[in-house]
Structures are given as C-alpha cells and as structure tokens.
Structure 1
C-alpha cells in the first residue's frame, strides 16, 4: 500500500453515541486509475500532540496491472472509536500535502515551533533545526523537508531530508545525523533530544535540553568492552514560530 497523491478535503463529525465516536471522511486524488482498498492509518503518538491534532496517513493499493494514465478521485470513510480525551481534530497526510479538520467547537490550534536554535557556548556547538513543518492551516498544507545545520568542533554541516532520522520516544523527539561514517577508524553520530514545546500563543519559548555525541569504535581493532561511547552536551534552546514564506 502507498500514500495517495494529494488530499483535496477532509470532514470530521461527531456521531451521537456513548462514548462519542468520530467519523472521518477524506477525499483525494491518485496518479492513475485502478487504485483500491483505501484506508486511514493512524500515526503512533508516544505522547499526546500539544495541539490535540492527531495524524493519519491516507493509503491505498495501486493497480497491479495496466491502468488508465489519468489522475483519479479516491475517498475513504472511517469511524474512529475510542478517540483519546482532548482530541481537537485530525490531520490527514498524502504524498504531496496534508489537510486538517477540527472537531466542531474546538479551539483553533496554536502553530507549533518550526525552528529550533540550540547553543552550547562552552563547547562551541550551535544547531539550527527546521522540522518537517506545515504551512498555516488552510485548504492545503504543503510539507517541507527537515533541515539541520550543525556547527561544532567537527566542522560545519547541513543535513536535509533522508539524511536526518527523527524518532518519537518517551524523551520526546530524537533527531540524529551522521557526522562521520563508521569506517575502519570509527564513526561519530550526533543525537538531539527535543521535548514537546507549547508556544502558548507566543512567538518563542526558551528551554533546556541535551545533545549526545555518539562515538563508535573502528572495525580494525575490536577489543572487549562497549562499542559506543557518549559525550553529553547541555544545550540552551529557543523554539520559534517563524513566518513561512
């Protein structure tokens, strides 16, 4: 199964039941005819999203054989049972965009941080991270690739897209990059721990967090003992909501 091409509209309604259930209707397009078995697959949230917006992927089966080469319409309807307390809406993701629908009467969610700047003056480390951010809520929300700029004793690096690994854990988001590949002489990775940050209607919020330099031993010598060592970096962070141009 694959994500559909693009979301065109999303409807969210509360069914009269106890406990209440949410009905999600999503409409979109696929690149050819012959797509089938549309589904909404919920994202796995280790922690409740700060804005109460829960994510789903709109996926379907592409045609197994020949198909008409024309953009086609596809739709899916799903009943979300046992929705979590505090849900404010849903965000449905396709390959090219996403769209958000709010529960009737829900507050308009605050924009989430789209730039994190982190510094450690004692060790000369500076990191600027742009997460996979969304444009303002509207008819369409086009996503942009994540970008991480690293300035440190090891040099200056810019990582984009698939060069950045992001994982949701009990610590928050763990964002990691490879500063030096693990060749015969050993490698060096850097992992940044980002806690959820609620801007609370403000343009920025300060916070403290950690970075970890992860050194691996080379392959030429393999003595007994731990194969990884860790250097913890204490970071001062600024989370900001900057205008998306």
Structure 2
C-alpha cells in the first residue's frame, strides 16, 4: 500500500510539473499572439496621407549600392504619427521597373487642428535591383512617379564643390 501511495504521489507531482510547463508554453504563445495583434492593430490604424508633393532619390555609394527615397507630402490635420513609406511586396519584379510605395501614417487621436501640415518619410532600398527604373508613391488624393534617370543626386559622388 505504501508503494502504491508513493507511486501515486510521484505521478501527481509529475503531472503538476508537465502541466506547469504546458501552462508556461501557453502563456508564451498567448503573449506572442498579443504582440502580433498589437502590430496588426497598429498597421490597421495606418491610412494613406492626403497627398504626395515631391520625391527625392539619392543613390548611396555602397557595396551593394543603396537607394534612399524621401517623399514629401501633406496631411489635412496636425498630429499624424509614424509617417512612413510602405513598400509593395512583389512576387516577381514589376514589368515596368517602377517600384511602388504607399505614403501612410497613423492619424491623430481625438481633436486636431484643421491645417495642411507638411510631412516626409524616407525608405532605403538596401540592394538596388538592376531593373529598377523609378519609384511610384500613392497617397489619398494623388500619386507621383519619379524615374531614377531624372534624379541627379548621388551621395558621395566625386564631383567637386
């Protein structure tokens, strides 16, 4: 009988230990899911900005070459946060060589001043594809395109000054 009770106690302790590990794993999975949901909520809160007014591109001298894209535009109110360029993800290279971005930000929470507010965002293409010919940026009221051949700004160029 003592042997049976000892085995029963040992088995109970083992089950508690296994369940504790499963509980720890479940809590970790739940925290990961919460983080993903927060990220999705943040992304869902982003909207396209009012308009794009200019695109600047600078080819950075690096190996491999990098392209810094800076977009200027406007919002219709103050208080926009996390202004950024959201790149399109391509399965295959764009046929026209024009890579596309959405000009987005998180709108203000609550009341905001009703004024046209200038904003800007930058994005660096870490490895410039050979077929890249230009950039197209989409906003709420317009879109703008700039060809790489139209951009005469090259950082670190050898031109004297």
Range class of TM-score, shorter chain: 0.5 to 0.7
1:57 is aligned to: 102
2:53 is aligned to: 8
Query: Aligned equivalents of 1:60 and 1:83: distance in 2?
Result: 25
Q: 1:92-142: per-residue Cα shift (whole Å, max 9, x none)?
A: 110111111111379xxxxxxxxxxxxxxxxxxxxxxxxxxxxxxxxxxxx
Query: Aligned equivalents of 1:105 and 1:91: distance in 2?
Result: 13
Structure of higher CA gyration radius: 2
2:145 is aligned to: 100
Aligned-pair Cα RMSD in Å: 1.5
1:79 is aligned to: 124
Within 5 Å, which residues of 2 pair with 1:151-166?
none
The number of aligned residues is: 106
Within 5 Å, which residues of 2 pair with 1:1-245?
1-104=46-149
TM-score, normalised by the number of residues in structure 2: 0.62
More helix by share: 2
Q: 1:166-197: per-residue Cα shift (whole Å, max 9, x none)?
A: xxxxxxxxxxxxxxxxxxxxxxxxxxxxxxxx
Q: Is the CA contact (8 Å cut-off) linking 1:43 and 1:54 kept in structure 2?
A: yes
Greater shift, 78-87 or 61-70, is seen at 78-87
Measured after TM superposition, the shift of residue 46 of structure 1 is 2.3
Higher relative contact order (CA closer than 8 Å, sequence separation 6+): 2
Query: Aligned equivalents of 2:124 and 2:60: distance in 1?
Result: 9
More strand by share: 1
- Distance change (3 Å), C-alpha of 1:105 and 1:59: closer
Query: Aligned equivalents of 1:101 and 1:12: distance in 2?
Result: 8
Partner of 1:27, secondary structure, is strand
Query: Aligned equivalents of 1:16 and 1:84: distance in 2?
Result: 15
Query: Aligned equivalents of 2:149 and 2:65: distance in 1?
Result: 13
